[in-house]
A and B are shown apart, each in its own frame.
Chain A
Amino acid sequence: MDKLDNIDDLFAKLNNDEKQTPAGVWEYILADQKRKKRAGVLWWYYGSAGLLLVAGLMGYYQFKKDKKHLQAYTIAKAFANNDLAASNNTDANNNAVAQTPDTLRLSAVNNMVYYTAEVALAKYKEYANTTEHIVDRNSGMVEPDMKNIIKPNDVVTRTANMEYEKAEAPPTDIRLNKKDLSKEKEEKDKTIRKTPNSKSQKYFVEVALTANRSYRTLSGDASLSEHINQRNRSEVALITKPALAITVGKELNRNWNIQTGVLYNVQGLSASYTVSTAQRKVFVDIDPTLKKYDTTASYIYIQDSVYKLEKGISINGDQKYHYIRIPVLGEWKLETRKLTVYAGGGLSLNILLAARGDVQDYQSAQSGVFVPVTQLALQRVGCDFMGRAGVLMPIFGRPDMKVSFGFRGMFSPVSVFGKDVPLKQHNYSFALELGIRKMLK
């Protein structure tokens, strides 16, 4: 028998060694790939939500800006009305016209009013004492060279270092501030509410299409937390497909409404789980209807069925559940021209119409056993509490109809009180929403 020159040569043949791979490795890798793909989709949701949020904030800023303009214009209009009353110098449209050709243009709400620089400055000096915050630059009062600062729709804030000659206090009737404007609006609202058709305008019908992403978390008995928090838990994901809802509602007042209707949605669920040797005791999820279970074993709960897992078993599932839901919701909303923020909650009756898909047990699949999910769907009717909040931006609107696009978050807690261990299951979903609301006559 030959002696080796180098001991390394004896061990070098290990380089070509092969060992049988344990069961479940490929299934684990496959599940990881799918999870990453789902995470990628999730980023689209977060990105869309972020964009919507930014768009919402910009809309809100624009609204605030418009509101400031409105205040400035209303004040300007008051100036104009005063001048109209005092002067006969008007144009063909009955607008006040300045005496000299060297004029500056001021946009009022409905009138085109012309002031000389001197008159505008004088009026500003009057106005400057009525407010500390909002000044219409169209009236040319901020900089000494007034011709250079005339820019349509400019609004600036008066700062502490702006020094102006102190003027006499303006007449009481042109001291229009925010409070006065609100009173005016209230008077208008009262008038509208007294019109014959105003009562029927409180009812509405709404059609909404949403694209959802759902999550589920569990919390409960502390002794189970170590099992629940296993890393593979996240591999069970609920995927809610686009949902269509038709609701009718009644506006109780400016901010509150109640609504009910019917909502159809397809809830998908994909689950991929492998019981590796390192995870001998795992609760992936627990059946709400399950009364007894063995805490030393591993379970996976896929929708309405519980699978007791043994070491080395992998399960992949892809299911679709068709639900009809009948919600009864109370909702608060804050509605502006550019943005609607809403939050509400209520109960939802859930009816499972049909279920499609299957659950494949990899170990059983060796002998070709597939379990139709229709046999597993036991819970046909249920009732959930649900809370939701969202932001909508109108993309088209007229007084009796509005089309909006926005972002919505939903929360549905389900308390599960099993015989041995109380658990709470929380369902979250985030959705992009496209809705049409039509006021009924």
Chain B
Amino acid sequence: MSLQQPLIKQSHIDQLDEQKIIDGAIRKDHACQKWIYEKFANKMMAVCLRYTADADEAKDLLQDSFIRVFDYLHQFGHKGSLEGWVRRVVVTSALNHYNVAKRRFTDVDIDAVDWEKGASYTPYNAQYTMEELTMLIKQLPPMAQTVFNLFAVDGYSHNEIAEMLSISDGTSKSNLFRARALLQEKLKNLEQHSYGQVRQHR
């Protein structure tokens, strides 16, 4: 039994447009909040998994992120897409919640990176599964992993990444290069040894 009867009945929620649902969620209407949660939860869970070490941590991050979404939804202001705003909250939560920038990151000197080794290799547009790609990213060093996630997957610029992680643009770029180099190396090995042989014969 709910402690507070929802202002909008669950059965009527689909008849409302997104703007009215957002307004309802801002008023703490549970039915509207649940609609938003159900619409974006699966996508955001994938984001959480990319930024955390395991599924338990990802679940905690997802919970905290949506709590933050509902707490600050009034700041959304219907500018841009709701999904983009929610995703940004989740990513920011990931960076803040785990204090990644301070706890796990170490600056990498661009000159010291041996990224040339794999840079000449370009991967086939093979149908790698999402799990395989996620696993490859997770094998990267923490700083490179986060910068690559932010730049290549979530589409942030180096300027934004530098601001979010409190690092310099150069550090962001160097870690991106390093991440690319390491991923190219891993993909090359993957294709040459196990998966690669199978995929090339498809």
Residues in chain A within 8 A of chain B (CB atoms): 1-8, 10-22, 25-26, 28-30, 32-34, 36-37, 270, 272, 276-278, 316-318, 357-358, 360
Contacts and interface: CB of A to CB of B under 8 A. Distances in A.
B163 interface: no
B45 interface: yes
B49 A32 contact: no
Given A29-B70, A278-B56, A10 B123 contact: yes
B130 to A, nearest CB: 5
A425 B35 CA distance: 39
Given A15-B153, A30-B30, A357-B1, A3 B124 contact: yes
B113 to A, nearest CB: 15
Question: Which 7 A-B residue pairs are closest in the complex by CB-CB distance?
Answer: A17-B46, A18-B42, A8-B152, A19-B45, A19-B46, A21-B41, A318-B1
- Chain B interface size, under 10 / 10 to 19 / 20 to 34 / 35 or more: 35 or more
Interface in B95-152: 122-126, 128, 130, 133-134, 137, 148, 151-152
A33 B28 contact: yes
A26 to B, nearest CB: 6
Contact of B45 (A16, A20, A26, A270): A20
B125 A22 contact: no
B123 to A, nearest CB: 6
Interface in B11-47: 28, 30, 33-34, 37-38, 41-43, 45-46
A33 B34 CA distance: 12
B23 to A, nearest CB: 16
Contacts of B151: 8
Interface stretch (B74-82, B164-172, B179-187): B179-187
A18 B44 CA distance: 7
A4 B67 contact: no
Contact of A8 (B71, B124, B128, B180): B180
A29 B28 contact: no
Interface of B, helix, strand, loop or mixed by DSSP: helix
B3 interface: yes
Contacts of A278: 56, 60
A272 B1 CA distance: 10
B50 interface: yes
Contacts of B33: 29-30, 33
Given A21-B45, A30-B30, A277-B56, A3 B122 contact: yes
Given A15-B155, A277-B59, A4 B125 contact: yes
A11 B148 contact: yes
Given A19-B46, A33-B33, A7 B184 contact: yes
Given A1-B199, A10-B123, 16 more contacts: A3-B122, A4-B123, A7-B187, A8-B151, A13-B133, A17-B43, A19-B46, A25-B66, A29-B33, A29-B70, A33-B33, A33-B67, A36-B71, A37-B4, A276-B60, A318-B3
B55 interface: yes
Interface in B181-198: 183-184, 187
Interface of B: 1-4, 28, 30, 33-34, 37-38, 41-43, 45-46, 49-50, 55-56, 59-60, 62-63, 66-67, 70-71, 122-126, 128, 130, 133-134, 137, 148, 151-155, 180, 183-184, 187, 199-200, 202
Interface of A, helix, strand, loop or mixed by DSSP: mixed
A14 B2 contact: no
Contacts of A276: 59-60, 63
B3 A19 contact: no
11 contacts: A11-B148, A14-B130, A19-B49, A21-B42, A22-B45, A25-B41, A26-B38, A29-B70, A30-B33, A37-B28, A360-B1
B42 A19 contact: yes
A281 B77 CA distance: 42
Contacts of B187: 7, 10
A21 B62 contact: yes
B63 A7 contact: no
Contact of A2 (B1, B4, B28, B124): B124
Residue among B3, B33, B49, B66 with the highest chain A CB neighbour number at 10 A: B3
Contacts of A32: 63, 67
Contacts of B60: 276, 278
Given A15-B153, A15-B154, A34 B4 contact: yes
A258 to B, nearest CB: 39
A92 to B, nearest CB: 71
A2 B137 CA distance: 22
Contact of A28 (B56, B63, B180): B63
A19 B66 CA distance: 16
Contacts of B184: 7
B154 to A, nearest CB: 7
Given A7-B183, A33-B30, A316-B2, A14 B122 contact: no
Contacts of B128: 10
A10 B155 CA distance: 13
Contacts of A5: 122
A12 B148 CA distance: 10
A15 B199 CA distance: 23
